[in-house]
Amino acid sequence: NAFHSDEYVAFLKNVTTDTMDQYPDAVDRYNLSADCPVFDGLYEYCQTYVGGSLSGAARINQKTSDIVLNWSGGMHHAKKAEASGFCYINDIVLAILELLKVHMRVLYIDIDIHHGDGVEEAFYLTNRVMTLSFHQSGVGGFFPGTGHANDCGAKAGKNYSLNFPLQAGMDDESYASIFKPVVTKVMESFQPGAVVLCCGADSIAGDRVGCWNLSIKGHAACLEHMKTYDVPLLVLGGGGYTIRNVSRCWAYETAKLLDQHISDDMPWHEHVGYYGPDYKLHVPISNMENDNTREDLERQTQRLLQQLSHLEAAPNVQIQTGQPGVRRAPDGFGIHDDSEDDDDADYRARHAKRVHLAEYFDEDDASGDRMDAGKIGLHQLIDPPSDDEL
């Protein structure tokens, strides 16, 4: 319960497919339908992937490992008291909180095609976690609709959230041309003690949900780049909806992170039938149009480099450090933190659902190309909470 509400976790633990009909309000409130159904073994499933990410963070804290992989993790959409986009418990937020016990600064990079909204929101107000998400723009209604270029963090966390919204058809060359300069500058100016990566494979060519055109090698190039820094990596999975390509991608990336050669010829195994007719590891990219222009990519790269330069230009912005080894959330963590004030609890119950924290800090000039809130199912935008509530 370092991040999620006790009530939400208790509900996930106790609800079954047989009993869910008795709790229609809770099922609705926690968004346990459509993308996020109740199913048998749900809680055990959550425990399993969260346990993997948490023990990975612990191994990094103890310096037992310098790279940890958990392809079952990476559930970046889950919120404090709400499931979203196939995510129930946010193992990424929990793992980052674990890393913060030892590391002053943790960097989160998200190369899933969807915006890493749950993680960004959790750390939106702190400067101890920098979040960087490359994703398909939400302007056309693409899920989850957040991750606007102007959403850059707030309060102590201002400029510590970075978003790179993109258009359909991203290819390897375009991706490398933005990833490397931005990440290089991030590593230089933020100097994280650990990096957490969400490596959703829905950003590769041929995904059933995604609309990009990355090869597996192009996707893996991001991990290979991160490996060149002498910083521990917690590598997590995420989305991916053409399943045979997800396993191809993560198998290749596992090999790359282990410095092992892996053949393009699929060896025989009991599921080899899924990989026909070619039985190859790598999949061809398509001839789809790349809607991202060179100018757009360059302009947005410069914008993020500019945002990062504000960090250096602001000597009064000090990193807020918790005491290493003490279970303590960073200052500004969790706008919806539990408090003893019942009025606050009521306020949250009424308003917290489906409004990304970035909405509170939206400036007039930033709203022009914001997503269509109605289209993507966001509830009414509400007044910003007062400083007391934050």
Minimum distance of Co ion from residue 130's CB (angstroms): 20
* Residue 113 Cβ vs Co ion, minimum distance, rounded to whole Å: 5
Active site residue 261: no
Catalytic member of 4, 77, 115, 219: 77
Quick one: which segment of 16-24, 187-195, 233-241, 294-302 binds Co ion (CB under 5 A)? 233-241
Work out how close the CB of 285 gets to Co ion at its nearest, in angstroms, rounded to a whole number.
19
359 lines the binding site for Co ion (CB under 5 A)? no
| CA within 13 Å, CB half, 13 | 9
Tell me whether residue 276 is exposed, middle or buried, using C-beta atoms within 10 angstroms of its C-beta: 0 to 12, 13 to 18, 19 or more.
exposed
The residue of the chain with the least Cβ separation from Co ion equals: 239
Per-residue contact string for residues 111-150; x = within reach of Co ion by CB under 5 A: -x-x------------------------------------
Distance CA 353, CA 371 (A): 17
Q: Which residues, including other chains, have CB under 8 Å from residue 155's CB and lie 6 or more apart? A: 125, 332, 390
Nearer to Co ion, 112 or 117 (CB): 112
Report the residue number, 100 or 201, with the smaller CB distance to Co ion. Answer: 201
Cα–Cα distance measured from residue 118 to residue 376, given in angstroms and rounded to the nearest whole number:
16
Site for Co ion in 181-200 (CB under 5 A): 200
Candidates 108-116, 220-228, 332-340, 367-375; binding stretch for Co ion (CB under 5 A): 108-116
- Give whichever of 114 and 370 is closer to Co ion, judged by the CB atom: 114
Nearer to Co ion (CB atom), residue 202 or residue 253: 202
How far apart CA 226 and CA 196 sit, in angstroms, is 10
DSSP secondary structure string for all residues of 333-351: --TT---S-HHHHHHHHHH
Scored b (16 or more CB within 10 A) or e, 150-184 reads bbbbbbbbbbbbbbbbbbbbbbbebbebbbeebbe
Cβ proximity to Co ion: between 118 and 200 the closer is 200
Q: Which of residues 239-278 bind Co ion (CB under 5 A)?
A: 239
Assigned token pair, 120: 């960004």
Query: Could you tell me how many residues of this chain bind Co ion (CB under 5 A)?
Result: 5
Whole-angstrom distance, CA of residue 219 vs CA of residue 42: 30
- HSE of 204, CA atoms in CB hemisphere, 13 A: 28
What amino acid positions are annotated as catalytic residues?
77
Q: List residues near Co ion by CB under 5 A.
A: 112, 114, 200, 202, 239
